[in-house]
């Protein structure tokens, strides 16, 4: 990374942990074989895959048999939602999700609407939360699937997965959780949580891009989206990317060791950032300031437009919203869903912090943000210098 850049966009992606990079290099040179091959070399690669699955299983507290390898959270979300909806179509065609979901969930439900399913889009409260009783009130006799994000990628809201899942279990509704921003960052015990399907991706917790997983609970069936082989119980066929899977497994192992320290580190940095910005006139926090995930802080400020602010902050690397939607000129639909106006949403900046972020990085970010706001306000017509 260029030495002058200050990277505060960890919600978009994280750097490879050195142990992950080394493990992948080792596998690429020593165990690059096809794990489906019935010979000694194939068995060597299959052992690598199984070892990675064991590490991920320990991170999530699940059995190895419940895990499928995918190319990332987008594929996992598609597999879970489309596969579950089609599998249980006989139960009903009513589905429920939230207005604040990631595009990798929103666009799947939009597609299902075109296929004749009916989707209820629930609005959150001002902190991005979905109270379980609001979900229960939206359930119908023909409701068959609910999908809710564990940690919101723009505002850091941590959903009450246990409460929402309990409502789904009570009514016999399949429950999918997009855990892309949660797995490897906060404790996720899928043996204790009433969750049927859980999506994750390695590159959000210091693993490689291009590999993820889908947890499918015992007794849950999904229709496959791909065909062409017997791998992974025919639910997701294709030759496995052994080196990427090994990287995910190593990232899961590192996450288990570092999670408590990471959360403490991020909490201190977030509070430092809030303290440094709180005296700016017209500044407000989008989403939770206390109970959210400590690695994300989304702020807006009056009389300043977000895209201009983003450019004025360079070399600080932050975001105005989700990376998947960064080319859109529209204001964030997540912020509009929690009650922000278009003007307020357009001024938003998301700071997302990580394992390598330092207090000095935060101090520099505070200084650059304050200077940029002052400069942009001074350029407005009628401003007084």
> What is the per-residue pLDDT for 382?
58
pLDDT-based confidence at 290, cuts 50/70/90?
confident
For 246-274, write each residue's pLDDT tens digit. Answer: 999 999 999 999 999 999 999 999 999 99
At 319, give phi and psi (nearest 5°): -140, 160
Average pLDDT of every residue of the chain: 94
* pLDDT tens digit sequence for 153-166: 999 999 999 999 99
Closest CA relative to residue 17, chosen from 297, 246, 348: 246
| Burial category of 48 from C-beta neighbours within 10 Å (exposed 0-12, middle 13-18, buried 19 and up) | buried
Where along the chain do its domains lie?
Answer: 6-14+258-378, 18-255
Q: Cα(43)–Cα(29) distance, rounded to whole angstroms?
A: 16
For 77-135, what is each residue's pLDDT tens digit?
Answer: 999 999 999 999 999 999 999 999 999 999 999 999 999 999 999 999 999 999 999 99
With a cut of 60, say whether residue 379 has pLDDT above it.
yes
Minimum mean pLDDT range among 33-47, 73-87, 223-237, 334-348:
223-237
> What is the pTM for the complete model shown?
0.95
**Record: fold of 18-255:** 3.40.640
CA atoms within 13 A on the CB side of 59: 30
Sheet of 94-98, strand order? 67-70, 212-216, 197-201, 174-178, 143-149, 94-98, 118-122
355 token code pair:
């394992």
- Find, among 108, 106, 53, 59, the residue nearest to 222 by Cα: 108
Which sequence positions are flagged as catalytic?
324
Contacts 24+ apart (CB under 8 A), 24-28: 24/208, 24/243, 24/244, 24/246, 24/247, 24/250, 26/246, 27/242, 27/243, 27/246, 28/243
Query: For a pLDDT cut of 90, what percent of the chain falls above it?
Result: 88
Tell me what pLDDT residue 381 has. Answer: 65
The CATH architecture that domain 6-14+258-378 belongs to is Alpha-Beta Complex (3.90)
C-alpha torsion sign, points 125, 131, 136, 137? negative
Helix (H) or strand (E) segment spanning residue 350: strand 349-352
Q: What is the pLDDT of residue 231?
A: 83
Closest CA to 151 of 261, 344, 294, 15: 294
């Amino acid at each position: 990374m260029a030495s002058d850049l200050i990277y505060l966009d960890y919600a978009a992606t994280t750097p490879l942990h050195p142990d992950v990079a080394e493990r992948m290099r080792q596998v690429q040179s020593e165990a690059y074989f096809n794990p489906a091959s019935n010979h000694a070399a194939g068995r060597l690669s299959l052992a690598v895959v199984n070892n990675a699955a064991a590490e991920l299983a320990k991170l999530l507290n699940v059995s190895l048999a419940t895990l499928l390898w995918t190319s990332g959270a987008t594929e996992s979300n598609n597999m879970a939602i489309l596969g579950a909806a089609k599998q249980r179509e006989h139960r009903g065609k009513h589905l429920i999700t939230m207005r604040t979901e990631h595009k990798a969930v929103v666009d799947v439900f939009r597609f299902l609407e075109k296929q004749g399913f009916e989707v209820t889009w629930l609005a959150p409260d001002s902190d991005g939360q979905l109270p379980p009783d609001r979900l229960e009130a939206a359930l119908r006799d023909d409701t068959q699937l609910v999908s809710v994000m564990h940690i919101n990628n723009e505002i850091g809201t941590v959903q009450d997965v246990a409460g929402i899942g309990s409502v789904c279990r009570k009514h016999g509704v399949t429950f999918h959780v997009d855990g892309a921003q949660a797995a490897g960052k906060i404790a996720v015990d899928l043996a204790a949580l009433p969750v049927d399907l859980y999506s994750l991706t390695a590159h959000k917790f210091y693993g490689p891009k291009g590999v993820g997983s889908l947890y499918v609970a015992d007794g849950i069936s999904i229709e496959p989206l791909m065909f062409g082989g017997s791998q992974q119980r025919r639910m997701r066929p294709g030759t496995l990317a052994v080196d990427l899977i090994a990287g995910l497994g190593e990232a899961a192992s590192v996450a288990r060791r570092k999670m408590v320290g990471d959360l403490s580190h991020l909490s201190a940095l977030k509070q430092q950032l809030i303290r440094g910005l709180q005296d700016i006139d017209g500044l407000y926090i989008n989403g939770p300031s206390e109970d959210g995930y400590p690695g994300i802080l989304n702020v807006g400020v009056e009389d300043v437009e977000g895209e201009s602010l983003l450019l004025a902050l360079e070399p600080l690397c932050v975001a105005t919203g989700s990376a998947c939607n960064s080319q859109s000129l529209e204001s964030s639909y997540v912020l509009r869903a929690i009650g922000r106006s278009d003007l307020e949403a357009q001024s938003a900046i998301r700071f997302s912090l990580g394992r390598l972020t330092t207090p000095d990085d935060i101090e520099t970010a505070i200084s650059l943000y304050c200077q940029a706001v002052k400069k942009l306000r001074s350029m407005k017509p009628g401003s007084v210098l």
